[in-house]
């Protein structure tokens, strides 16, 4: 490595992200020392991005840094947690300064936006692989879980799922689109906006929550399963961006919305008794979410279109009569 391990850590990771008063010792000692606020529970998540698996080889380094943190922010958002501290285990084939500067800038900008401080990590040589651990907290006993839903709860999703999967398809030349659409959709894959503020507010209203990383249908099914319910999603109610619809057409856009991945939106359930307060306190235009279906007693996940059930495989769907 052109730059030594310690010089590299010092230059790019010692002061990365926000500066927080609750960090007693951050990067530089053997471990980080952190003050956990009274009456809270610590919320911890970790996610790994492997080059060629979770992002294409040669992706912009700022995007890799951003996404490595974003996927973890999204997990904390799904718990209703406020993020605070991150650790970064970075394995890379060589220490290239321009790459590191852009990676740290992408990571640091998103970290600052969410008041997250990078407090430690590990740096090793090997095939490019990034693991971030994110810590945060919730007032004791208030975290959102996947398992709190009941039959009859309305199901919502934030944002416009499907964009990121289409962006990746464009990037990998599995699809084509005019350049303005291409840029927008690619941006949705490369720079996702995890719904941290929404997650925190949902603690007051939602019965269950999950972040959408594997595809809306699969993740809604996981929420339902954890809640001991099934789920019905209404095809006509799926929010789809104009860009995705223009790029992919109406049908394929909805297929992306249901089965694409990497959205980092929130899918959540709200009980009937909380619906009015929820929609009044968190207006959908401002908080950018849509009602897409309902939890039901019968197990499994069904997508309903004009009264009939659509059957999906992981690569697409077929109608059932």
* Binding interface with Mg ion (CB under 5 A): 122
Nearer to ligand ADP by Cβ, of 116 and 220: the residue is 116
Q: CA of 266: how far to CAs of 75, 76, 211, in Å?
A: 9, 11, 4
In the complex, the smallest distance separating the C-beta of residue 125 from ligand ADP, rounded to whole angstroms, is: 12
Which of the choices ligand ADP, Mg ion, none does residue 121 contact, using the CB cut-off of 5 to 8 A by kind? ligand ADP
Consecutive H or E run containing 25: strand 23-25
Residue 231, C-beta contacts closer than 8 angstroms, at least 6 positions apart: 155, 220, 221, 223, 224, 293, 294, 295, 296, 300, 301, 302
121 makes contact with ligand ADP (CB under 6 A): yes
127 makes contact with ligand ADP (CB under 6 A): no
Nearer to Mg ion by Cβ, of 92 and 143: the residue is 92
In the complex, the smallest distance separating the C-beta of residue 117 from Mg ion, rounded to whole angstroms, is: 18
* Contact by Cβ (8 Å): 99, 61: yes
| Ranges within 23-52 binding ligand ADP (CB under 6 A) | 27-30
List residues bridging with 310 in a β-sheet.
Answer: 303, 319
| Ranges within 60-89 binding ligand ADP (CB under 6 A) | 88
Residue 102, C-beta contacts closer than 8 angstroms, at least 6 positions apart: 60, 61, 62, 65
In the complex, the smallest distance separating the C-beta of residue 22 from Mg ion, rounded to whole angstroms, is: 22
123 makes contact with ligand ADP (CB under 6 A): yes
Q: Which residue is nearest to Mg ion (CB)?
A: 122
- C-alpha closest to that of 215 among 105, 301, 88: 301
Of 9, 110, 144, 185, the residue at the interface with ligand ADP (CB under 6 A) is: 9
Residues in contact with ligand ADP by the rule CB under 6 A? 9, 13, 27-30, 88, 90, 118, 120-123
């Amino acid at each position: 490595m052109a730059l030594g391990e310690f010089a590299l850590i010092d230059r790019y990771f010692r002061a990365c992200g926000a500066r927080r008063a609750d960090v007693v010792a951050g990067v530089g000692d053997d471990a980080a020392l952190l003050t956990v606020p009274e009456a809270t529970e610590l919320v911890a998540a970790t996610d790994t991005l492997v080059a060629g698996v979770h992002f294409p080889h040669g992706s912009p380094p700022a995007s890799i840094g951003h996404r490595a943190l974003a996927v973890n922010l999204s997990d904390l958002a799904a718990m209703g947690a406020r993020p605070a501290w991150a650790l970064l285990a970075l394995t890379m084939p060589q220490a290239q300064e321009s790459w590191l500067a852009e990676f740290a800038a992408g990571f640091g900008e998103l970290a600052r936006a969410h008041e997250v401080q990078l407090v430690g990590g590990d740096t090793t040589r090997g095939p490019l692989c990034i693991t971030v651990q994110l810590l945060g907290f919730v007032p004791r006993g208030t975290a959102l879980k996947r398992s709190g839903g009941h039959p009859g709860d309305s199901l919502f999703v934030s944002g416009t799922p499907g964009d990121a999967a289409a962006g990746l398809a464009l990037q990998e030349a599995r699809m084509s689109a005019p350049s303005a659409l291409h840029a927008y959709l690619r941006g949705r894959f490369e720079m996702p906006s995890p719904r941290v503020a929404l997650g925190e507010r949902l603690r007051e209203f939602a019965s269950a929550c999950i972040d959408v990383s594997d595809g809306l249908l699969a993740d809604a099914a996981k929420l339902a399963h954890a809640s001991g319910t099934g789920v019905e999603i209404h095809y006509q109610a799926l929010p789809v961006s104009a860009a995705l619809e223009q790029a992919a057409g109406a049908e394929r856009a909805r297929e992306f919305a249901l089965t694409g991945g990497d959205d980092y939106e929130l899918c959540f359930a709200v009980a009937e008794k909380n619906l009015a307060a929820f929609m009044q306190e968190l207006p959908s235009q401002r908080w950018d979410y849509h009602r897409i279906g309902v939890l039901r007693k019968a197990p499994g996940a069904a997508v309903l279109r004009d009264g009939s059930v659509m059957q999906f495989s992981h690569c697409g769907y077929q109608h059932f009569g």
